[in-house]
Structure 1
Amino acid sequence: MRSVQHSNITSDLLDAATVVELGRLVRKLLAEEDVVGAVITHGTATLEETAYFLDLTLDQEKPVVLTGAMRNLSEPDADGPRNILYSVMTAAHPESRNRGVMVCFNGEIHSARDAIKINSMQVNAYASRDGGALGAVTKDGLIYFARPERRIHIDVDDMKENVQLITLVQGANDLLVRACIADEVDGMVIEGIGAGNVNIPYFKAICDALDEGIPVVVGHRMFGGMPFFNKGHEGSFRSMIERGAISAGYLSGIKARVLLMVALAHTQDQTRLREIFAKVAAPTRPGTN
């Protein structure tokens, strides 16, 4: 086992360029024949975003595991050493191959797509959204319950940085969306209310963004589930999709933003962007792909 330091920075300050460089380093190290996997220690604030970028852009069988700590080494119950131990056990285990990038935290193993930080203080800081944990690990070994589904590889080692995530709240005006249009952003992700709905000012601003050719992905602000077509009024999720927006499907707003950043580095075609999101996060009916 060997250690390589890429950077020493709080994850609050990480930017897209730094994460891209990390991906290039990991790709280079995994190409070495004697390397069986990689563990990345990372600040917990944005760990889930780095994990999903790596999962989308690394195309190989060797496991990559991200972990961190909620309590530092000056505290008597520091969780970092155990998280690192369990992550190394996970990365070294032969059953971890072909499972993509994972997050190992507090004895649980999560897929990069579904991992989400749920607590700002406790050691059980990470959980999975709808899919649940992939497995569990203890000092005696690990067990897997599932494989990550709907994974996709996008053949880029870059991402568009100017993609904005906006969460709608009750009574909000269209200021943030209009600012994005004025700034000519690369794309927007909107976390709507309820089933993915927005108010009328937001709807009109989103339509203007779409008319300007800005990709707009629409999801919701809840912990689980996906937006759906239960209403047809202006501002409903249905009305935005019919107007040309892209569904976030089962992705959280944070993960939808990462996917859009990576996808835009691959293509600017909105039909292709819609296909990528559908492949990753949309439900399918029997007989469809």
Structure 2
Amino acid sequence: MSVALFTLGGTIAMAGHSTDNGGVVARLTGAELTAAIPALADLGVPLDVRDAHAVPSANLTFAQVLEVVDAASRAVEAGVVGAVVTQGTDTLEETAFLVDLVWRHQEPLVVTGAMRNPTLAGADGPANLLAAARVAASPDARGLGALVVFNDEIHAARWARKTHSTSTAAFASPNAGPIGHVIEGRPRILARPDRREPFLQEFVTGPDASARLGMTRVALHTATLDDDGALLDGLEATHHGLVVAGLGVGHVSSDLAPVLGALSQRIPVVLTSRSGGGSVLRHTYGAIGSETDLQRRGLVNGGLLDPYKARVLLRLLVANGAGRDEVAAAFGRLG
């Protein structure tokens, strides 16, 4: 038995400085990362270290993340008790949710990283990696799907968000809070959310998944003050879906509402909130541009999913050929 560790670069793996601008550059391997954490020797199971894509998380693609999911799945089938993925934090909330949508095993897959690179005082990467490995090795974490472990907090991937650009406590779950903590080296699961069935597993592991994802474009538009929707002109010709980050509980201006309604007749349009927490409502307000009006025009209610997670889900759905009814059903189940 062992824990599989997949490294994807990011702040946690940065060391040294470039000669051009003095900024840190990514160069640490998984073996170098683990060598800096002597306490991993007390984990109870060995780490099977595998270097994957050493790129900033802003450069990660759906296809690359799904490659790691496939490799982690094969590792579980070969006998590992859990998996850890280290990556940059910029897109971590999206990649963790993507993993959670397709992860089919009882063994946990834990995603972590760092906010302070190893050249800084108080670098948090070693502590985060150690905590993540402890969670991945814990029998108590079975059946929880993909998890995000940061700052000794354990978050369900479907709720975790990056809420600060620099703090070591950057990750939180605004709608639910952490489901557990790592206390004196021991993972303690305090809440066990219902585990939904993995989503589109056959599609994700199919031979043409990368090609279909590569051809699928889903846009994200954030509603703002005095937004007339001009930026969306012609979007249906270039994109296959749209997520709207609406104001408050899911509102837009009266000028933007008909633009979104017209788009929803051509491509799936999902309504979310830009607020950072809380749900889109369904039938509280009735003015033009309200959640009730927008749903009447054909927009799909995104529920509790934030705009970034909604875009991940919509892209998977559209790439799999889902129509509006299937999109609405999926968001009704997962949002």
Length-normalised TM-score, structure 1: 0.92
Structure number, greater radius of gyration: 2
Structure 2 unaligned regions, length at least 5? 1-46
**Aligned equivalents of 1:221 and 1:127: distance in 2?**
16
The amino acid that maps onto 1:84 is L
The offset of 1:127, in angstroms, is 0.3
The offset of 1:179, in angstroms, is 4.2
Q: Is the deviation greater in 156-165 or in 96-105?
A: 156-165
**Aligned equivalents of 1:55 and 1:209: distance in 2?**
29
Report the counterpart of residue 52 of structure 2 in structure 1. 6
The amino acid that maps onto 1:47 is L
Match of 2:218 among 163, 169, 194: 163
The offset of 1:98, in angstroms, is 0.3
Matches within 5 A, 1:241-252: 241-252=295-306
2:249 counterpart of 1:203 = no
The amino acid that maps onto 2:251 is N
The amino acid that maps onto 1:18 is Q
Contact 2:175–2:278 (Cα < 8 Å) also in 1: yes
2:169 counterpart of 1:124 = yes
The offset of 1:225, in angstroms, is 1.2
Matches within 5 A, 1:33-112: 33=79, 35-112=80-157
Contact 1:267–1:273 (Cα < 8 Å) also in 2: no
Q: Is the deviation greater in 163-172 or in 19-28?
A: 19-28
**Aligned equivalents of 2:217 and 2:193: distance in 1?**
28
Match of 2:323 among 252, 265, 269: 269
2:60 counterpart of 1:32 = no
Length-normalised TM-score, structure 2: 0.79
Report the counterpart of residue 219 of structure 1 in structure 2. 272
**Aligned equivalents of 1:45 and 1:251: distance in 2?**
18
The amino acid that maps onto 1:16 is F
The offset of 1:171, in angstroms, is 0.7
Structure 1 unaligned regions, length at least 5? 282-289
Contact 2:143–2:195 (Cα < 8 Å) also in 1: no
The offset of 1:2, in angstroms, is 1.3
The amino acid that maps onto 1:30 is V
The offset of 1:173, in angstroms, is 2.3
Q: Is the deviation greater in 105-114 or in 136-145?
A: 136-145
Cα RMSD (Å): 1.5
Match of 1:194 among 245, 248, 258: 248
The amino acid that maps onto 2:240 is D
The offset of 1:195, in angstroms, is 1.6
Return closer, same or farther for 1:202/1:195 CA change in 2, 3 Å cut-off: same
- SS of the aligned residue for 1:78 comes to coil
Contact 1:86–1:138 (Cα < 8 Å) also in 2: no
Superimposed CA distance per residue, residues 103-152 of structure 1 (whole angstroms, 9 cap, x where no aligned partner)? 00001000110000011111001000211111000333121111233634
**Aligned equivalents of 1:171 and 1:100: distance in 2?**
41
Q: Percent identity?
A: 34
**Number of aligned pairs?**
278
**Aligned equivalents of 1:105 and 1:128: distance in 2?**
12
Return closer, same or farther for 1:175/1:182 CA change in 2, 3 Å cut-off: farther
Contact 2:265–2:298 (Cα < 8 Å) also in 1: no
Report the counterpart of residue 234 of structure 1 in structure 2. 288
The amino acid that maps onto 1:25 is A
Superimposed CA distance per residue, residues 167-222 of structure 1 (whole angstroms, 9 cap, x where no aligned partner)? 11101221232242231x1211101112201112321211111222x000001111
The offset of 1:243, in angstroms, is 1.9
Return closer, same or farther for 1:149/1:10 CA change in 2, 3 Å cut-off: same
Runs of 4+ in 1 over 6 A off after TM superposition: none
**Aligned equivalents of 1:172 and 1:51: distance in 2?**
32
**Aligned equivalents of 2:323 and 2:64: distance in 1?**
26
Superimposed CA distance per residue, residues 256-281 of structure 1 (whole angstroms, 9 cap, x where no aligned partner)? 11111122233422112111111112
Superimposed CA distance per residue, residues 225-272 of structure 1 (whole angstroms, 9 cap, x where no aligned partner)? 111122212211111112221111011111111111122233422112
Contact 1:40–1:66 (Cα < 8 Å) also in 2: yes
Contact 1:152–1:280 (Cα < 8 Å) also in 2: no
Report the counterpart of residue 12 of structure 2 in structure 1. none
Contact 1:150–1:279 (Cα < 8 Å) also in 2: no
2:72 counterpart of 1:18 = no
- SS of the aligned residue for 1:143 comes to strand
Contact 2:106–2:142 (Cα < 8 Å) also in 1: yes
